[in-house]
Amino acid sequence: MTEPSHGDNAFTATSLYGRQPEMTYGGALSFLRRRYTKDLAGTDVVVSGIPFDAATSFRPGARLGPQAIRAASVQHAELFAFPWGFDPFQRLAVIDWGDCFVDYGYPQRLVETVEAHARHILASGATMLTFGGDHFVTYPLLRAHAALHGPLALVHFDAHPDTWPDDGERLDHGTMFRRAAEQGLIDPRRSVQIGIRTHARNDLGFTVLDAPWVHEHGPRAVVEEVRRVVGDARAYLSFDIDCLDPAFAPGTGTPVPGGLSSAQALAIVRGLGEVNWVGLDLVEVSPPFDHAEVTALAAATLAHDFLCLLAARRPKRSA
């Protein structure tokens, strides 16, 4: 008797589209069970991880984030997307490239390594969805995206503005957006920071919707303000999981009380389909400090919705 052709879609898939039955509690893990491959032909979205956390200022562990997000994505791989009501893999060809190889013994090579990784993928015409790692990994990703698209609007979810003083050389997950602005990678006038609840002396011209503002005005107002500020600019979305309150994301390196709920964050993300996204990342998931995969589940759900934002722009493929 021939064994049924399902399971382990990460290795057995014959198409970049669609899905096949999997055991949520077993099988080969990739993000949303997409095919593991470094063949970029025909891809719309490339998922990859950057397992690096040497730029953290408090608790480490984010280098384990990509693995945890993949593992937490299994339920989203088996059902139609909620509340979207469609299968994103009937519209998008998505692969899991695996992780960018980062040599822990040479952290000073991180920028060139990640930038080269991103440039290689972007040259194929695919959109990148990247998992950190600590938030510093966004800096070399922005370098690669800005080299292709020019200065970008940044939509930044975080507890921290990450615009503290920078000398242009340090590896620091709290200074890289100042560097990115000073180097012209992002345009602060078209950029929005959401969920902030720590002080920086200079907002550099960013529109800051801090956590109290979000709580007072609600997700719909946030969406409207993001659309107003970003307009039709090419935009990059960077989501630090510590934007969520520690009650919803305990597994992160620098938790700050008073943050967004998972429901608030998802409502905002789901309302941003009109933005011209050119790249997305999700960072700072630290599994050693997580409990019952609460943080990883939130991250996987947000990342799944990122894909749905892109898929919603495309019609379903004919059979």
Beta strands at 234-240 and 276-283: parallel, antiparallel or unpaired: parallel
166 is in an annotated binding site: no
Closest by CA to 314, choosing from 39, 93, 130, 20, is 93
Beta-bridge mates of residue 106:
none
162 is in an annotated binding site: yes
135 is in an annotated binding site: yes
DSSP label of 228: H
215 is in an annotated binding site: no
Closest by CA to 291, choosing from 260, 250, 257, 256, is 250
55-86 CB burial, b ≥16 within 10 A, e <16:
bbeebebbbbbbbbbbebbbebbeeebeebee
Tell me how long the chain is: 319
Q: Which residue positions form the known binding site? A: 135, 158, 160, 162, 240, 242
Residues belonging to the binding site for Mn(2+) are 135, 158, 160, 162, 240, 242
